[in-house]
């Protein structure tokens, strides 16, 4: 299992990387952590004519506070760096909680945020997390840049809204309102393996305790990260207790249509989604009330 021949170019600057992508389009692929692209090339499922290695673009490796209390994260930030970032842990505990579930330490040492998202594996944790957080993603090309909402970024299995000349360069994580609780949970056969089902939950409360906002994102539940829209509707406006949590979990079991696979049947995935929704909402609520 060896990659088919390709031309390798180490990017000297973002501009030169984008110029190459503009010139070669889909024949060229950006090489970031390579933890999904290289296996696909070893299998020859992917045979790009050119690899533009963006690892030299260290300017794209950062976690930065944005003026509005949100965070800006560079696309080349390693998953391991996310795991260890104190600012991220403080401001975006949902991301901090999800990241240790992304593959294994050796993979997290190389894998990048941007690579994970641009690969758009529906079983991956971070797309579901970004969906639940309402994150935005910045795409850049030689023509300019644009922001894409997470809900519009993931369009299918391994398919994003990125155009052939664009690079995902940055992710914006909006500030969590006060009295917001979050929780990420998944069930996998083995730590670091693909989750049979995973959920990212966000719940915000008003001063009187009523739920003002709820968002749920599921991984391995469909062709893209899947929102738990009906479940969120059950919660918003309510003083959420056990009854509402049970109703939300039941709504998720009705709403989701997971694909099922050799590790977990569709029915088992649905069951897991219900159980995880219940547990994650319970935890998120406790955290929101702290």
Partner 1 sequence: MTADRHQIVTTVNGERYERRVESRLLLSDFLRHDLGLSGTHVGCEHGVCGACTIHYDGAPARSCLMLAVQANGHAITTVEALAPDRDRLHPLQDAFREAHGLQCGYCSPGILMTMTAFLEENPSPTEQEVREALSGNLCRCTGYQHIVDAVLLAASRMRGSSSG
Cβ closer to partner 1: 4 or 155?
4
DSSP designation for 99: G
| Strands 195-205 and 180-188, bridge-based pairing | antiparallel
Does position 5 bind partner 1 by CB under 8 A? yes
Among 11, 51, 133, 234, binds partner 1 (CB under 8 A): 51
Contacts of 5-10 with C-beta under 8 Å, sequence gap 24+, read: 6/41, 6/47, 6/48, 6/49, 6/50, 6/51, 7/49, 7/50, 7/51, 8/50, 8/51, 8/53, 9/50, 9/51, 9/52, 9/53, 10/53, 10/55, 10/56
Site string for partner 1, 183-222 (x = CB under 8 A): -------xxxx-----------------------------
Is residue 282 near partner 1 by the rule CB under 8 A? no
Q: Does 61 bind partner 1 (CB under 8 A)?
A: no
Is the sign of the CA dihedral 54, 63, 168, 220 positive or negative?
Answer: positive
Cβ proximity to partner 1: between 174 and 192 the closer is 192
- Name every residue whose Cβ is closer than 8 Å to that of residue 90 and which is 6 or more positions away in sequence: none
What distance, in Å, lies between the first and last C-alpha atoms of the chain? Answer: 52
Give the binding-site size for partner 1 (rule: CB under 8 A). Answer: 32
Query: Does 44 help bind partner 1 (rule: CB under 8 A)?
Result: no
Tokens representing 51 are 């690899």
Question: Is residue 80 a contact point for partner 1 (CB under 8 A)?
Answer: yes
Nearest to 231 by CA among 209, 254, 205: 254
180: β partners: 204
Which residue, among 198, 169, 233, 199, has the nearest Cα to 32 in the 3D structure? 169
Tell me: does residue 8 bind partner 1 (CB under 8 A).
yes
Looking at residues 135 to 194 of the shown chain, list those that interact with partner 1 (rule: CB under 8 A): 190-193
Smallest gap, in angstroms, from Cβ of residue 41 to partner 1? 8
Q: Does 263 bind partner 1 (CB under 8 A)?
A: no
Residue 69 sits in the site that holds partner 1 (CB under 8 A): no
| Biggest distance spanned by C-alpha atoms of the chain | 63
Residues 24-43 interacting with partner 1 (rule: CB under 8 A): 31, 34-35, 38-39, 41-43
Which tokens go with 170?
């940055």
Query: Applying CB under 8 A, which of residues 53, 134, 213, 282 lies at the interface with partner 1?
Result: 53
Applying CB under 8 A, does 262 fall inside the site for partner 1?
no
Subset of residues 83 to 122 that bind partner 1, contact rule: CB under 8 A: 103-107, 109-110
Sign for the CA dihedral angle at 222, 227, 231, 233 comes to negative
> How near is the Cβ of 262 to partner 1 at its closest, in Å?
15
Q: Tell me which residues touch partner 1 (CB under 8 A).
A: 1-8, 10, 31, 34-35, 38-39, 41-43, 51, 53, 55, 80, 103-107, 109-110, 190-193
């Amino acid at each position: 299992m060896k990659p088919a021949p390709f031309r390798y170019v180490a990017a000297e600057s973002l501009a030169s990387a984008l110029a190459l992508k503009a010139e070669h389009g889909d024949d060229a692929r950006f090489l970031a952590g390579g933890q999904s692209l290289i296996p696909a090339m070893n299998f020859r499922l992917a045979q790009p004519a050119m690899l533009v290695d963006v690892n030299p673009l260290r300017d794209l490796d950062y976690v930065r506070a944005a003026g509005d209390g949100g965070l800006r994260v560079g696309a080349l930030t390693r998953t391991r760096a996310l795991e260890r970032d104190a600012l991220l842990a403080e401001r975006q505990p949902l991301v901090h909680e999800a990241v240790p579930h992304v593959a294994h330490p050796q993979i997290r040492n190389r894998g990048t945020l941007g690579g994970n998202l641009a690969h758009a594996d529906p079983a991956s944790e971070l797309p579901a997390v970004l969906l639940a957080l309402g994150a935005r993603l910045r795409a850049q090309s030689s023509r300019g840049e644009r922001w894409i909402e997470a809900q519009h970024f993931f369009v299918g299995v391994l398919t994003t809204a990125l155009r052939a000349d664009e690079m995902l360069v940055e992710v914006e994580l909006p500030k969590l309102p006060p009295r917001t609780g979050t929780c990420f949970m998944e069930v996998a056969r083995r730590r670091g393996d693909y989750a049979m089902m995973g959920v990212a939950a966000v719940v915000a409360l008003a001063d009187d305790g009523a739920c003002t906002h709820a968002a749920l994102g599921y991984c391995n539940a469909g062709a893209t990260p899947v929102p738990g829209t009906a479940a969120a509707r059950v919660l918003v406006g309510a003083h959420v207790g056990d009854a509402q949590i049970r109703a939300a979990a039941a709504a998720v079991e009705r709403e989701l249509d997971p694909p099922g696979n050799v590790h977990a049947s569709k029915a088992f995935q649905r069951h897991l989604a219900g159980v995880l929704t219940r547990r994650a909402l319970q935890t998120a609520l406790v955290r929101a009330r702290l």
